[in-house]
Amino acid sequence: MSAPAHLYPKDIVTRSARLDLSDDYDLYYEESGLGDGVPVLSIHGGPGAGLDPGARCFHDPHHYRLIQYDQRGAGASQPSGDVRLNTTPLLIADIERLRQHLGIERWILSGGSWGTTLALAYAQAHPERCLALVLRGVFLGTREEMHWVNQGMRVLFPLEWQRCVEGLSLAEQEHLHSTMHRRVFGADRDLAVDAARRLAKFEWLCASMSPDGAAIDAELTPEFALSYSRLVCHYVMGDFFLDPDQLIRDLHKVHHLPAYIVQGRCDWVCPPWSAVRLHQAWPGSRLALLPLTGHMASEPAIAAELLRTMEELKTRFPADRFASSKPRTTT
């Protein structure tokens, strides 16, 4: 199955800027689409993966005002890979500060993987600021999900697992993120980069139905891999800075919001049971459980469903409801 032919362009950015935060952090963000269109915040995964230009493909630039950003410590946000002040409550506060900075009253939240976790956490903290949620590859930040990542994926991907843990003792393998946490934050940079690339590559190879190993290797530069894996390990070791089952416990706070859940049935990084659980706990939510489909937004079935969802939301949220007196601009 090929990707839908009418995806929107992904290579045009209207504006990019930085938002200064406290304690020497800043937030890099980009805008594309209609300056006074329906606001959409695209929340990237990881933690630490950085914004995905491909997300622009699902948003009509003549209808949506798409905001993408790198979470603190991720991507082009500075300082890169820093975890001194990096928790889920702080990421929620960053989103709210970005909203205020951009003068947006309410927006659609669109997140993938860890981005679904953060979107849900923000929406539960600020439901009055949300129009709807579009969630792809649901992750609820629970220990049960991380147990699967550490214990289940190795069974489905034994060769990839063996390359990831080569040289590690059985005890170190049983507590993979704890082991890698020590290494990626260690003083030996070569050892840290090697551990970071191994951990990230294992996850990324498992995330796609047809992974491109060469492309993954090219993307996992030492700088990116180290930043990414430090943030991942920091959040895993902190239980994602959420109370146990917090996102399901507090779901009543957002029951009134439209929710669109897009999930690959063969998503082995964020298995479908979390998406089904979220859907069953959220009255009126819509679940698209896609056969023969993995985790990545670029997979044809997921891309088609995300595009269909955002096209449907154009009717639900007309652009003229958000128009201001300033001139209307498009990409």
What are the pLDDT digits (tens) for 278-314?
999 999 999 999 999 999 999 999 999 999 999 999 9
pLDDT at 4: 53
User: How many other CB atoms are found less than 10 A from the CB of residue 215?
Assistant: 11
pLDDT at 58: 96
pLDDT of residue 90: 98
The arithmetic mean of pLDDT across residues 41-63, rounded, is: 96
pLDDT(159) > 70:
yes
3-class DSSP state for residue 26? strand
Q: Determine which one of 60, 70, 94, 267 is catalytic.
A: 267
Phi, psi for 33 (deg, rounded to 5): 95, -150
* Amino acid 328: pLDDT: 42
Q: What percent of the chain has pLDDT over 90?
A: 89
Among candidates 278, 128, 271, 296, which has minimal Cα distance to 208?
A: 296
pLDDT of residue 329: 43
Residue 44 pLDDT grade (very low, low, confident, very high; cuts 50, 70, 90):
very high
Q: Is 295 a catalytic residue?
A: yes
pLDDT at 5 over 90: no
255 among known catalytic residues: no
Domains of the chain, earliest start first:
15-141+242-320 (3.40.50.1820), 146-239 (no CATH)
Look at residue 141 in the predicted model and tell me its pLDDT.
97
Helix (H, G, I), strand (E, B) or coil at 117: helix
Q: Which of 242, 240, 229, 121 is nearest to 181 (CA)?
A: 229
pLDDT greater than 90 at residue 266? yes
Please report the DSSP string for 126-168 in residue order: -GGGEEEEEEES-----HHHHHIIIIIHHHH-HHHHHHHHTT-
Q: Is 212 a catalytic residue?
A: no
pLDDT, mean of residues 54-66: 96
DSSP-assigned letter for residue 16: E
Q: How far is CA 100 from CA 13, 18, 217, in A?
A: 21, 14, 38
User: Which residue is catalytic, options 59, 63, 279, 295?
Assistant: 295
Segment (H or E) for 286:
strand 286-290
Whether the pLDDT of residue 63 is over 50: the answer is yes
Q: Please answer whether residues 262 and 136 qualify as being in contact, where contact means their C-beta atoms are separated by less than 8 angstroms.
A: yes
pLDDT at 323: 64
Determine which of 2-11, 83-92, 119-128, 243-252 has the lowest per-residue pLDDT on average. Answer: 2-11
Catalytic residue among 32, 113, 208, 285: 113
Identify the pLDDT of residue 325.
Answer: 37
Is residue 330's pLDDT more than 80?
no
Bridge partners of 31, per DSSP, are: 15, 67
